[in-house]
Structure 1
Amino acid sequence: MHSDIPFSTDRLDGLLDDFGIDVLIVTSKHNIQYLLGGYYHFQFDYMEAIGISRYLPVFVYVKGAQDKSAYIANRNERDSVQNRISAGYWMPPVVYGSSTSVEAMTLAIQHVKSVATSRLQVGAEMSFLPADAADLVRRELPHCQFVEAMRPLEKLRSIKTIAELEILREASERVVASMMDAVGRIHTGHSKREIIAHLRQAELSRDMTFEYALVTMGTSLNRAPSDQRLEPGDIISLDSGGNYRGYIGDLCRMAIHGAPDGELVDLLGEIDLIQQAARASIRAGLTGRDIYAAANEALPRSPHGKQMHFVAHGMGIVSHEAPRLTASGPIPYPADDANAPLEAGMVISIETTLPHARRGFIKLEDTIAVTPDGYQAFGDGARGWNRIPS
């Protein structure tokens, strides 16, 4: 293995063996970033559409022969790639010349034909492969069979390196700090749109990319941006995803204009008890079902347990990535990892929500990294009622 390759080729080769894949044709933004150690052409950070088609980067990986890898780049990407190489980062051989999805896949197929046999199991990310590019692969590689590559790539990403964990720690800390920055700037009369604008600017000022904010105010359970305005005594939930160096910090914290009364203190305390019960059990070797068992054991002891919603899911480059621990959460997917032992380096989001009809939307969401004998919590501050200035 090349010492600078930013992923384990042995682990990837083993996963490809497990799923019967000979050659990977990677086309998703998140997996391109992961396999190239954080690289993605800056011109298409915001949108892939251009001209009559779209930007389609392609990473070709041949199992057991990483020296035969190639990156298919846009014709305007040379400066971006050169900067990456000049900074000392690994890049596979680069093939330039694409400006459409068909041109990109044509170059990728030419490379596959030059380095591999004609009968292959080709791993592709079906949700991220344009129809015109997929048709081209089927036509040009007629003896090859498509295999869904989402799962082995997801499993590859699920165990984070020390460097990745540090980025996720920073992402989480910066999101929470941004929330507290926004809370300090909020005043009565501000709309949800204005509050989100404060949060966006706070994340941008911390070298993050603002992805989203789900915000509730007062007794409303509506989390979308709107012109609803803060009234005296209102509570606010801030649930934001901020991206730092390609990794997502996704946490939820609560704020209030004025002082929380005893009932609000108790309600947030109930939520925290569920959070702590789920967190306390986490360690390498535990299963996802064990996390849910700990939370489900605590919920009946809460006066509002029947109204609460608990979910645990993987975090990293993608929200709700592996380990996938439930099939009944807000994002539908199979619970493929619910019975598998957690491994050190996995990162899990733990969240408990109470949509209270009279008091409003109350929630905590924490980011937990699995360690050999327990866990580390990232961005674990400000978990109480944070005061909005009067």
Structure 2
Amino acid sequence: MSLHSPAVAKEELPFNTARLDALMDTAGLDVLLVCSKHNVQYMLGGYRFFFFEYMDAIGVSRYLSFFIYEKGRPEHAGYIGNPMERDEKQRFSHWVHESDLGSWKSVDAMNQAIAFIRRNGLAAGRIGVESAFLPADAYNALRAGLPNSEVVDATIVLERLRAIKTPQELDMLRNASEKVVDSMAAVVATHGAGATKNDLVHALQREEVARGLTWQFCLISMGQSFNRAPSDQIWQPGDVLCLDSGGNYNGWVGDMARMAILGEPDSELQDLLGVIDEIQQACRRLIRPGTLGRDLFPEAQALVDVSRHKDYLSFVIHGMGLITHEAPRLTPNGSVPYEASDAALPLEEGMVLSVETTMLHPRRGFIKLEDTIAVTSNGYEPFGDGHRGWNQAGG
């Protein structure tokens, strides 16, 4: 079934069409065939079909939706989705001109996308896809259905488009970060001796959901152990606790890490967290428009290198937004490996960074701070910047 929406002016679209067209032109793309949930949501201005929020599998195939964009012609954009989205479209009327809502299987969705591309006279163009998110059966259908087209990866194009956040998107990230940190503080304040890692993670999930977040994960370490999986390990007096959690607000991710302790932090623990904070601040004060991404590292890394704890200290920066570790990508040496394609480029207003320093102390355990920092017109703004010291258990 094909549904039509009235045309929308470019200035009313949820993304910058001039920026996207320029990125596509540089990559030599005629059409984008977007299929990842986060990028479909981004291109549609926040829409994500609730029924398949947690799982794509259904029957013998999977849910697969497409946003289709022709360079320079947003009025020709299309959306391919599931029949049940007809009800959702009445509630959330996204802006695309044409929607085909008739696919239950991945190949069916691709065949509808192929038909859309043919109707618009683009069967011989260069089509950008998200290679890591496109199922093999759908890719094979695309190659068979459009044999005269050239299919290339467009992941970086979409990453670069999302790298500059709008004020509304920054508000979402600010909310997500603050709600994650507030949830952590509430859990620490209401738990104490005898609580297990499982207890704390379940409580954190409840706190985040109660604040309007979609729960994603919690990496939790306790005592001298570096194991960050939830378990029945019990919080003992004197044990440090690291909560590293992600929850999203309307799709935008808050990913923060804060420390707690059962009891009073001694002078050594105060010093250790102080070392971490000093490294964090060395990076943070350099964040401003025009700073090259690679120039955020030397001062902080120098503090790591001269520290007597250097053998178990690490420092990294990565982009934040609809996913963790998105553009700008500044280093190939972090915990998540990828090419540092933005390291030689200047920071721009609206970019958002996650700055994190981790210490795996052989006696005191896992100690970490992870902060979310937005690049502003004259510097930076931290999101969710509270509770960065030792939070004491209250239960």
Q: Could you tell me the TM-score, scaled by structure 1's length?
A: 0.97
Contact 2:283 2:299 in 1 (8 A): yes
Q: Aligned pair 1:285/2:293, yes or no?
A: no
Give the match for residue 23 of structure 1.
Answer: 31
2:43 matched to 1:35? yes
Verify: 1:222 aligned to 2:227, yes or no: yes
Deviation at 1:301, TM superposition (A): 4.1
Matched residue, 1:71: 79
State the distance in 1 between where 2:79 and 2:50 align.
Answer: 16
1:111 to 112, 116, 120: 116
Question: Quick one: which of 13, 16, 30 aligns to 1:5?
Answer: 13
- 2:383 aligned with 1:378: yes
Give the letter for the 1:312 counterpart. Answer: I
Residues 164, 350 of structure 2: 8 Å contact kept: yes
Q: How far did 1:213 drift?
A: 0.3
**CA displacement 1:84-129 (0-9 Å, x = unmatched):** 12xxx52432111111001111111000000023311000001111
Q: Unmatched 5+ residue regions in structure 1?
A: none
* 1:145 aligned partner, one-letter code: E
How far apart in 2 are the matches of 1:225 and 1:211? Answer: 14
SS of aligned partner of 1:364: strand
Counterpart contact for 2:194–2:234, Cα < 8 Å: yes
**C-alpha contact 2:77 2:96 (8 A) present in aligned 1:** no
Deviations 1:141-168 (A, max 9, x none): 0011111010000000000001000110
Q: Which amino acid aligns with 2:75?
A: D
| In structure 2, C-alpha distance between the alignment counterparts of 1:104 and 1:191, rounded to whole Å | 45
What is the distance in 2 between the residues matched to 1:4 and 1:193? 45
Displacement of 1:268 in angstroms is 0.3
Distance in 1 (alpha carbons) for counterparts of 2:196 and 2:123: 60
Q: Distance in 1 between matches of 2:361 and 2:122?
A: 61
The 1-side partners of 2:15 and 2:285 are apart by 31
Task: Determine which of 79, 89, 100 is the counterpart of 1:81.
Answer: 89
Counterpart of 2:128, as a letter, is: G
Separation of aligned partners in 2, 1:384 and 1:63: 49
SS at match of 1:95: strand
Q: Is the 8 A contact 1:281 1:294 kept in 2?
A: no
Runs (5+) with no aligned partner, structure 2? 1-8
Aligned to 1:100: 105
**Cα-to-partner distance string for 1:325-384 (whole Å, 9 max, x where unaligned):** 000100010000111101110000000001001001000000000112210000000000
Query: Which of 156, 159, 162 lines up with 2:164 in the alignment?
Result: 159
Residue 264 of structure 2 corresponds to 259
Aligned residues of 1:233 and 1:257 also touching (Cα < 8 A) = yes
The alignment partner of 1:327 has SS state of coil
State the partner residue of 2:6. none
Say whether residues 1:183 and 2:188 are aligned partners: yes
Q: Distance in 2 between matches of 1:8 and 1:228?
A: 49
Partner of 1:294: 299
Does the 8 Å CA contact 2:288/2:378 hold for their aligned counterparts?
A: yes
Partner of 1:198: 203
SS at structure 2 position matched to 1:3: helix
| Alignment-mate amino acid for residue 45 of structure 1 | E
Q: Of residues 34, 48, 54 in structure 2, which corresponds to 1:46?
A: 54
Per-residue CA distance 1:182-225 (angstroms, 9 max, x = gap): 11121211111110001000000000011000000011111111
How large is the Cα RMSD of the aligned pairs? 1.0
SS at match of 1:99: coil
Matched with 1:248 is: 253
Query: Is 1:347 aligned to 2:352, yes or no?
Result: yes
Report the Cα distance in structure 1 between the residues aligned to 2:123 and 2:132, rounded to whole angstroms.
Answer: 25
Residue pair 2:106, 2:135 contacting (<8 A) in 1 also: yes
CA deviation after TM superposition for structure 1 residue 75, in Å = 1.3
- Between stretches 1-10 and 14-23, larger displacement belongs to 1-10
Matched, 1:213 2:197: no
Match of 1:56 in 2: 64
| Matching residue's letter, 2:254 | G
- Equivalent in 287, 312, 334 of residue 329 of structure 1: 334
**Residues in 2 aligned to 1:75 and 1:281: alpha-carbon distance in whole angstroms:** 50
Please give the secondary structure, in 1, of the residue aligned with 2:209: helix
Q: What is the match of residue 233 of structure 1?
A: 238
Say whether residues 1:138 and 2:146 are aligned partners.
no
